A = this chain, B = another copy of it.
Amino acid sequence: MSNDIHFQEDAASITDPKGFYAAASHADVRKKKDHRLDTGLLFSRPPCSAAGVFTKNAVKAAPVLQCQRILKLDTPVHGIVVNSGNANACTGEQGKKDAIAMQKTAEEACLAPADSFFVCSTGRIGDLLPIDSIKEAISSSGEAIRNGATVGSGFAQSILTSDTKPKTCTASFRFDGNQVTVSGVAKGAGMIQPNMATMLAFITTDIQADSSQLQSVLSEVVQSTFNAITVDGDMSTNDTVLVLANGQSRCSLNAASEVLFKDALFRVCDSLADKVVSDGECITKVVELLIEGAASVKDAESIARAIGNSLLVKTSWYGNDPNWGRLMDALGYAEAQIDQEIIDISYEDTAVLVKGTPVPTNKPVWKRIVSEPRFSIKINMNLGEGGFRLRTTDLTEGYVNFNMSE
């Protein structure tokens, strides 16, 4: 990572890059009359290029299909309209109409074409949106934006579901005399094993880039950040990562500036991905699985996901139990090439298995490490060059309790 990147989490805002505005309102999507911000609008008057990655789930919410259609148009984009509390997924024809209605309301509020607004929803699957109140909320946010709303904190709040806090960060760098800023917000908490993205993450930047350049950098960065986390192994119908670039920094994305821009984008995505995992539903631990020496990267990823999603592994972490037998069991069913007699495992840097043979004298140290709220487990398969890093969590009674009710 470059020292030339200035990185900031406190007081970061999706409106940090030049020319972006954001506002949020209450549409009572959850029908709880709790004044919670649940509808957001992001806007750039200068047109943006855009890139996105989406859930690989074959069941896609109406807004996801709409975002994919907009990206294909490859026409200038002006913003994002979003609600939380209802995913607008499995809602049939009416769901599609409602997604379009959200775009049209943004069009009227900001005087930019409906299809220049991405539309996103997150929350419960299978219920229709309360579209009238959402339209009112969008109009009200539009009015705030026309009055120059540049405080992104409400927008960051409005996209949350079971998250306990908003997730924002900003990276910036100077290139050729110009300041370039990249900023992001995300929401996560449950149904988190993105294959293409976390549930929702929006990134703004004032670099100048065409859509295909932006897409290529985003796809690469997402692979090792949002696509390398798991909370519960469930991939959502609504996962979406969007980047909007409005060119206001006067810096262009080219071979020379790409190193710094990719680094800044990585810092933003990596930080947001970490915040999503750390705020997973009722978790008590974040565990970094570092797989190396696998026969291929694909094998390394399969091994990491088998371990990171194993209920028996996750519950043992919750109990501060360094039960490495469960790690071995899980990697054994990963459908990867494995020779159980040459595997090395360590908690942090303390050996557990050396070439398949346990080192039980280290057990007191293992127990201390596994009792920490954050630790890493390193596994060397000693078979090849494949590596993968996965951030995962423990599984608690709280998770079960939280998800057993509607």
Contact = CB atoms under 8 A, between A and B. Distances in A.
A125 B326 CA distance: 7
A401 B399 CA distance: 12
A384 interface: no
A59 B406 contact: no
B318 A237 contact: no
A309 B277 CA distance: 21
Given A126-B328, A233-B311, A311-B233, A333 B400 contact: no
- By size class, the interface of chain A is 35 or more
Most B C-beta atoms less than 10 A away, residue of A318, A395, A404: A404
Contacts of A336: 58
B59 A340 contact: yes
B403 A311 contact: yes
A323 interface: yes
Nearest to A310: B234
A319 interface: yes
A89 interface: yes
A77 interface: no
A358 interface: yes
Nearest to A395: B400
A330 interface: yes
A328 B90 contact: yes
Contacts of A87: 325
A235 B329 CA distance: 7
Contact of A312 (B190, B316, B331, B340): B190
Interface in A83-112: 87, 89-90, 92
A70 to B, nearest CB: 20
A154 to B, nearest CB: 28
6 contacts: A59-B329, A92-B358, A190-B312, A233-B309, A234-B310, A315-B399
